[in-house]
Amino acid sequence: MNQSKLHIVILAAGRGTRMRSSQPKVLQPLGGRPLLAHVLATARSLKPAATHVVIGHGADAVRARFADVSVNWVLQTEQRGTGHAVQQALPEIPDDARVLVLYGDVPLLTQDTLLTLIDVDGPALLSVVLPDPTGYGRIVRDEDGAVSAIVEHKDANPEQLAIDETNTGVLAARADRLKGWLSRVGSDNAQGEVYLTDVVGLAVEDGLTVEVVQATDPDEVAGVNDRRQLAAAERVLQRRAANALLDAGVTLIDPARFDQRGRMSVGEDVVIDVNVVFEGDVELGDGVEIGPNCVIRDARIGDGSVIHANTVIEDADIGPSCQIGPFARLRPGTVLVGDNRIGNFVETKKATLDQGAKAGHLAYLGDASIGKRVNVSAGVITCNYDGANKHRTVVGDDAFLGTDSQLVAPVTIGARAYIAAGSTITRNAPDDALTICRARGQKTIPGWRKPVKDSGK
């Protein structure tokens, strides 16, 4: 169809009492994003002329969460059913538009399924066959197999309750016809509400054929009304994400123990072990290996780098051929140029490590620029915070920072400088010299030479 005439109405006004939450139901998280975000993303993929979101309970919170999204917000001040909710949006939709009705708590619908639905000329609805249709409206057909009505579960008789083809609530129709049908719908039913589904029977009364598109995957049309259903939807979403990565050539040691809560791009020969969580935007280069129990958020990891077990990486840029962890934490602003080693119980924040620099274990590097091939020994700390402001530490190429040294920023350690173990450095240390600061005070030893490894050992 001509998408320039497509208007999408998303019903998102419900409170979701079964969630037992102070948050509106459509803001509950699925794959790291609110339920409504998934529906809006699918709606955008259809390139409609406009998207109208009907909100009610928690309207201010919903609007605030999606303040940067271009939609027409429609307030339903009194929740009187799905038909009433659609009526609130229709005045701003041209009569000749095709209206597609979606739901803010049905997040797993795919673009392909909806394209099939909106390509139908007349009124059309989406159905699904369920092994247990309890609670769902039934698709009632005549002796010729044509749809004659939709009957809600609470209003169905025993014969209708035996029907396993159910209504998903998703439908498409011309706007002027929807307006007319909804003006004729009453609320004489078990819920005392204006049912959107009643327009199907009215369309049949008007001599129109209602086409049915049957969803092939019940998971795709499942609604989310409570925590159990939310957890089930999460598993479906994660299974889709895992399958997409497998299709892209990624090795997932166990696809069932994997979580993607954002967007990922991957190179060739990537290996991901169990219980790894990816959040935000993550890019993995060729040959990257991720060990078990890692959390990686908004990060780029270069070719050939290995992230060992139980490592947390956030907002970091890791170059090629790095070794990270186990039990390392890379905080926002960390940049590893390449060939770096960050070992167990090392924490970095706003730190840049140039080519070949390494911190093997038990160190903190914050607000620091670490030169090429620098060795950061165990227990080294950059003292970057004076209680009010942060200060930077600069370490030149090929410097050696001895065990249990404290670098009190702002301070510069020269190229090829050697800081003796146990030193507290409060002043700049020059190039090519040993600097030691223990109980007798800091001093520099001119002409000092770096120890040479015994070739016989």
- Determine if residue 388 is left, alpha or beta; phi over 0 gives left, psi from -120 to 50 gives alpha, anything else beta: alpha
| Active-site residue, from 52, 57, 84, 361 | 361
Give the separation between CA 395 and CA 152, rounded to whole angstroms: 71
391 is an active site residue: no
Is 95 in contact with 116 (CB distance < 8 Å)? no
Q: Give Cα 280 to chain centroid, integer Å.
A: 6
Residues 72, 51: Cα–Cα separation, whole Å: 6
Residue 433 CA to residue 417 CA, distance in Å, equals 5
Q: CA dist 216 to 109, 119, 161, Å?
A: 11, 17, 21
**Site of tokens 């020269």:** 414
With beta carbons less than 8 A apart as the criterion, state whether 333 and 317 touch: no
Closest to 373 in 3D by CA, of 344, 396, 406 = 396
Six-digit token pair at 431?
A: 């190039």
- DSSP string of 234-276, one letter each residue: HHHHHHHHHHHHHHTT-EES-TTSEEEEEEEEE-SS-EE-TTE
Look up residue 44 and give its two tokens.
Answer: 């955008």
Going through 117-161 in order, the beta strands assigned E by DSSP cover: 124-129, 138-141, 147-151
Tokens of 57: 């309970």
> How far is 118 from 6, CA to CA, in rounded Å?
8
Buried b or exposed e, range 412-448, using 16+ CB within 10 angstroms: bbbebbbbbeebebeeebbebbbbbbeeeeeeeeeee
3-class DSSP assignment, residue 398: coil
Contact between 369 and 387 under an 8 Å Cβ cutoff? The reply is no
Spatial separation of the C-alpha atoms in residues 351 and 366, rounded to whole Å: 6
The DSSP call for residue 328 is: -
Q: How far apart are CA 130 and CA 147, in angstroms?
A: 18
Q: Which residues are catalytic?
A: 361
